[in-house]
Structure 1
Amino acid sequence: MGKSLAMYMSLLRVLLRLAGVRSQVVEIEPGTVVHFWAPAENPNKTKIHSQAKRKPAVVFLHGFGFNGISTWQFQMLALAKDYAIYVPDFLFFGGSITDKTERSPAFQAECMAKGLKKLGVEKCTLVGLSYGGMVGFKMAEMYPDLVDSMVVTCSVMALTESITRSALERTGFSSWAEVLIPETFEGVKKIAELCTYKSLAMPDFFYRDIFQDMFINHKKERVKLLEALQVKDKDFYIPHYPQAQRIHLLWGEEDVHFTMEIARNLKDCVFEWSDDEGNSSVNSEDVLEGLQPHPDIRSLTIEGYGGENFSSWILQLNNLTVLRLTGCSKLRQLPTLGCLPRLKILEMSGMPNVKCIGNEFYSSRDSAGVLFPALQILTLSMMYGLEEWMVPGGEVVAVFPCLEKLSIKYCGKLESIPICRLSSLVEFEIESCDELRYVSGEFHGFTSLRFLRIWDCPKLASIPGDFRDLNSLKKLIVNGCKLGALPSGLQCCASLELLSIIYWKELIHSNDLQELSSLRTLLIRGCDKLISIDWHGLRQLRSLVYLEITACPSLRDIPEDDWLGGLTQLQKLIIGGFSEEMEAFPVGVLNSIQHLNLSGSPKFLGIWGWDKLKSVPHQLQHLTALKTLWIMDFKGEEFEEALREWLANLSSLQSI
């Protein structure tokens, strides 16, 4: 440490000691220690004072430029008389260090929280600057019982792609490391200029001392810390914070990195009712009416609301982009949301008394033009009483014109789903809708659809429309339905990479697959009535990597020639569980596998037997390319004896 900085720090330590604050090192776990500036007396050791008489705990979290004492020295001296002040150094700042490889803000938050608890802190207010604000948000999310409230200044929840791009463009830097990990003392001066409202009049030798003391060590680790902060826009989410956990944002109008626009976008509001509050619907409605948020709010979560009706102020939130309604158990009618111009994400779950999605959901007037004009993600879950979903009435130009993801799960009484003209839809998922009989509308024109998953809808008998135009479809997964045929036009889905046909109880024939030239995974499993497959069409699927045909007890018409010979890319094959009337494993299957073995595939083979089979096929002993062999439902001593003899021949086998 340089002389000037050493002299200043010595004086500062004396002043802090007089204020009742001292330096402490806390071992979080073996190999990880965190340095704190903390009250000289541990509250755990103070027996004569009750919790009510203790000073309120305030934790100051520093930014990325300087350590704790350098950032918060003036606040520490000013507030130590009335508050229990705690100022930790983050890992790789000050005296904090770890031998762990984790660099995420969540790990920093965990270490800070554990250190505070070891120092006897049960409840605290966080004050976070910049990087400290990001770690503070994580602490509030992960440890709500510890963090009572939080003040965040000049910070964001994460460095998203868009925030990073705009911030670096404004300041002329190429990376966050260039901004925050200076190579010279002039870089330290630049950080000070960016982080302070008025430039600090300090001589260059003082900046040199700061550079030598704070920026020489742990450069690689700090680069990793910065990398761990950066996330893709699509991966960023706003966590749920209880209403009681107050969060206050402070922002500077001239902040060049995190502008006022970013601050406004951070505004988030969560209304959460306790069980007692939710019991009175009248009281809940009065409370919700009185909690009308600022009209500029961007994100709103309402959880456990006990009212039967929703407040009308929802119609005025024209800047709302995210709305989550969950556990509103007495709500009978969904609020009117179709005219919110900027709503992008809508999630609704746990509303058992909502029986119908009707006109009131879309608009409060007969003619509304475009409804849900910006909505991209719509999720319905655990709407156990929902029976009907209507299309909007009146003169409507379009509904959900921008919808990209639609997810409907655990709506056990819902009988139909309208899907008309969802031309922007990319992902569509239906799961556990026991009474679903049909999907109204057609998939014709869904040119953007890439992922379609229908799971456990036992009464769904057909998928309407023609798949001929689904040029972008990559994954089709249908499990546990009453479908009797593949969707019309499926053979034209040239981009399809995964087709999963599982537990189709009425499927009899599976044909016209040969045109699916991009198909990499094909699963046909548990189709009780399936009697025929286009075996020779399968050999045209030259991109197949994984093929499974199992548990189809009516299937017996299996060719004896080599119908797998063209599948040279095949790496995983699981096959068997055919008709109980067959007394031997199909010769054609075994011949095909042997032929593939000559080209080094497959690496994984699963053979599924049935009761009449007394021995495993002897051809298996020649499959020298196999690395994994899985055998199921073969019985008898002959099988066990043969297997022991053949294992020696399977020279590449790694697991069985």
Structure 2
Amino acid sequence: MDLTDPNFGSKLQSFSITSTRHTHTTFQSHHLQFQLKPKLCHQLNTALETCDSLPAFGQLPNLRHFSMKDMTNIRKIGKEFFGEEGNCKKLRVISLERMANLGELWTTRSGKDDEEFLIPNLHYLKVVKCPKLSFLPYTPRSINWTVVPGVARSPERGFGSLASSTLPFCVTIKNCHFSHDRWGRLQHLATLEIFQGRGCSGLRTLPDAIQCLLSLRELYLESWEDLEILPEWLGQLVFMKKLVIRDSPKLTLLPESMENLTALRKLELEGCEGLEILPEGLGQLTSMTKLVIKDCPKMTLLPESMENLTALIELQLVRCKGLETLPEGLGLLISLENLYIYDCPKLKSLPKSIQNLTALRQLWLEGCEGLEISPELFGHQLTSLKVVRIRGCPNLTYLPESTKNLTALEVLWLGGFNSLPEWIGQFICLKDIRILDSPDMTFLPESIRNLTSLKELHIWNCPRLIERCQGEDASNISNIPRIVLHGEIFIPGQAFQGSKNTAECGHSSQDREHKQERQDEEKLYMHVYSSDF
């Protein structure tokens, strides 16, 4: 590559140089400055371990993205980078990773605060493992920040008077063990709307500086292994719309002040193994549309006040091993469309009021070993219910008589069932039936031929039923466009697609397509055995 060639870079938009450790690399500034045709160069990536100086990349007026990785000999990004005049008005992204000896990045031409700010429109600042880095005189304002271990350079003194068109919007902090002083610097990011903290250890509660983020809309806390309680001031963040807490096994208590988060639309609690109860004030969160509780084994019940969550659209209860009952007021959730209950072995019953959920569209009951349901479960009011999935519930081996009321049913997945009723032929909207892990089921009702909307029939791990479908009952399912028996496509009157009989005929492209389709089906059913959540 000849950087002195006058035609080099005439249409270049992205420029990347990578060097090995055994190659000493230097830049000729005047070559890059003129031959890269700066008005056309939009992105620049460098990864040069032996490079010890940089040319005036900052003078490229259309530079959007500047990235450096593993350049251990670079110690400063100063005025030689920005040149003698102008600024980086179009620079949107700065990414610095594993720059072990980088000590300074100037945000003014002299590193003092009485000059023009050189990066006025930054959208994303990512700093990973740059332990010596300081921004002089101030950290650049950026809409989005990512801070990973080995960097201590969140805005220590704010942003001074440096003019910028951007305001901090999102900060992500990963795997950091910050002192209280370092956390205190968050107060300079008062415009933040999204805060994501992942793997932040050594804290029993949230840093007080977070309460200064009064514009916060979304708070994500993941893998805070030492987190025990959330502070009462959390209720002051009244604009919060999403609160997600994952993998915080020592968390035992949510503050009563959460009842003040009336704008909250999503609450997700996952892997909070010490959490036993939710605050009764949960019912005050009347804007909530989604509530997810996963892997909280000590939680035995939900607050009765949940009946006030009339805007709730989706409720997920997943792997809550200790959950025994649901509030009777569940039927008052007039907006609930999706109810997923998965792997809650101690849950004994569903409240009778569930038949009042007129907006309910999907109901999943899976892995609930102790669950028994009333014959009247599916009342006349569940006219919107389109998807029912029941499997891994050994007490549920037959569809209750009230299922006949589900006139809008389109998808039916059943596992561990002994038989299907003859009246299943009344489901004129049914499009998809899947029968899984039902070794005692021996036949399909003849009325299945009346399901004129049925497009797919899948049967998996039901050996006696599959044998019957291949033989004497084949005519009952011949009108179904797609039949898959234990992962293989079946056409009544023909051998399995891709079976030994087909394989002996050769390996045509059609055979290969059938084989791939069969493999895809096997993957689907193996996925059915695992968690869908």
TM range (shorter): 0.5 to 0.7
Count of residues in correspondence between the two structures: 444
C-alpha change, 1:521 and 1:249, in structure 2 (3 Å) is farther
Give me the identity figure in percent.
Answer: 21
C-alpha change, 1:267 and 1:502, in structure 2 (3 Å) is closer
One of 532, 542, 549 as aligned partner of 2:383: 542
Aligned to 1:475: 314
Aligned to 1:405: 242
One of 157, 167, 183 as aligned partner of 1:335: 183
Q: For residues 529-574 of structure 1, give each alpha carbon's deviation from its aligned partner in whole angstroms, at most 9, with x where no partner exists.
A: 1111464534422122211122211235753x4x334433322111
Aligned to 2:36: 86
Q: CA deviation at 1:528?
A: 0.7
Q: Work out whether residues 33 and 56 of structure 2, in 8 Å CA contact, stay in contact via their aligned partners in 1.
A: no
In the alignment, structure 1 residue 272 sits paired with structure 2 residue 272? no
Instruction: Give runs of aligned pairs for residues 542-581 of structure 1, distance below 5 A.
Output: 542-555=383-396, 558-559=399-400, 561=401, 563-578=402-417
Aligned to 2:295: 456
In the alignment, structure 1 residue 440 sits paired with structure 2 residue 279? yes
Instruction: Give runs of aligned pairs for residues 30-69 of structure 1, distance below 5 A.
Output: 35=11, 52=24, 54-56=26-28
Q: CA deviation at 1:613?
A: 3.4
Code of the residue aligned with 2:411 in structure 1: it is K
One of 156, 173, 185 as aligned partner of 1:325: 173
Unaligned 5+ segments in structure 2 are 49-53, 110-115, 162-166, 485-533
Q: CA deviation at 1:492?
A: 1.8
Code of the residue aligned with 1:325 in structure 2: it is I
In the alignment, structure 1 residue 654 sits paired with structure 2 residue 461? no
C-alpha change, 1:535 and 1:577, in structure 2 (3 Å) is farther
One of 340, 346, 352 as aligned partner of 2:195: 346
Q: State the alpha-carbon separation in 2 of the partners of residues 532 and 241 from structure 1.
A: 58
- Which secondary structure does the structure 1 equivalent of 2:282 belong to? coil
In the alignment, structure 1 residue 594 sits paired with structure 2 residue 433? no
Unaligned 5+ segments in structure 1 are 1-16, 26-33, 45-49, 58-78, 92-107, 118-122, 158-237, 252-259, 278-286, 364-369, 579-583
Aligned to 2:469: 642
- Which secondary structure does the structure 2 equivalent of 1:477 belong to? strand
Q: State the alpha-carbon separation in 2 of the partners of residues 373 and 322 from structure 1.
A: 13
Structure possessing the higher radius of gyration over alpha carbons:
1
Code of the residue aligned with 2:220 in structure 1: it is T
Aligned to 2:7: 23
Q: CA deviation at 1:85?
A: 2.9
Code of the residue aligned with 1:428 in structure 2: it is L
Q: State the alpha-carbon separation in 1 of the partners of residues 291 and 123 from structure 2.
A: 34
Q: For residues 466-518 of structure 1, give each alpha carbon's deviation from its aligned partner in whole angstroms, at most 9, with x where no partner exists.
A: 12332221111111112222245322222222111111222111131222222
Q: For residues 278-323 of structure 1, give each alpha carbon's deviation from its aligned partner in whole angstroms, at most 9, with x where no partner exists.
A: xxxxxxxxx689988449666544321488xx99947899975433
One of 482, 496, 499 as aligned partner of 2:336: 496
Aligned to 1:507: 347
- Which secondary structure does the structure 1 equivalent of 2:430 belong to? coil
Q: CA deviation at 1:577?
A: 1.8
C-alpha change, 1:339 and 1:461, in structure 2 (3 Å) is farther
In the alignment, structure 1 residue 155 sits paired with structure 2 residue 90? yes
Q: CA deviation at 1:53?
A: 6.4
Normalised by the size of structure 1, how large is the TM-score? 0.56
- Which secondary structure does the structure 2 equivalent of 1:489 belong to? helix
C-alpha change, 1:304 and 1:615, in structure 2 (3 Å) is same
In the alignment, structure 1 residue 391 sits paired with structure 2 residue 232? yes
Q: State the alpha-carbon separation in 2 of the partners of residues 595 and 453 from structure 1.
A: 34
Code of the residue aligned with 2:272 in structure 1: it is C
Aligned to 1:242: 97
Q: CA deviation at 1:406?
A: 0.6
Q: State the alpha-carbon separation in 2 of the partners of residues 289 and 126 from structure 1.
A: 20
Q: State the alpha-carbon separation in 2 of the partners of residues 517 and 539 from structure 1.
A: 9
Q: State the alpha-carbon separation in 2 of the partners of residues 460 and 611 from structure 1.
A: 34
Q: State the alpha-carbon separation in 1 of the partners of residues 160 and 281 from structure 2.
A: 33
Aligned to 1:424: 263
Q: Work out whether residues 246 and 272 of structure 2, in 8 Å CA contact, stay in contact via their aligned partners in 1.
A: yes
Q: Work out whether residues 428 and 452 of structure 1, in 8 Å CA contact, stay in contact via their aligned partners in 2.
A: yes
Q: State the alpha-carbon separation in 1 of the partners of residues 287 and 13 from structure 2.
A: 56
RMSD between aligned residues? 4.7
Code of the residue aligned with 2:228 in structure 1: it is E
